[in-house]
Structure 1
Amino acid sequence: MSLPRSHFLPITPAIVDDARALVSCANAAAAAPESLRRLAWLVTASAHGQPARQLPHRPRSLRRPQ
């Protein structure tokens, strides 16, 4: 099933800047929920023209305790 194009997030320069800031700052990334970090990776990769089908995952041994 595919969603209509209107359901996708419009990628604006402000969204790309915010995503890059989140990805590049370790403290901000650590404070953000995992879903937001994943979205930031998708936006950043999309802005660079890279398909982001597989998101980077930390090994279970390196994950932050919940």
Structure 2
Amino acid sequence: MPDRSRRISLEVDEEEGPLHGRLAEAGGPVREFDGWLGLLTVLGRLLDHPSDPGDGPPSSSTPHH
């Protein structure tokens, strides 16, 4: 069975206010999130649609604030 492991980085800002941070798959675009629901949404999209390092970020996966 081929190795299907992936490296996903999580960075969280803990200074003040609600949960905020960034997720990125190794070599892929950084995706920001706000709140627990935002974290789960971005993580779910990342797991459902892995990025190809040669591609740009999918517009539907990058939230705009």
Same fold (TM over 0.5): no
Of Structure 1 and Structure 2, the greater strand share is in: 2
Of Structure 1 and Structure 2, the greater helix share is in: 1
Larger radius of gyration: 1
TM range (shorter): under 0.3
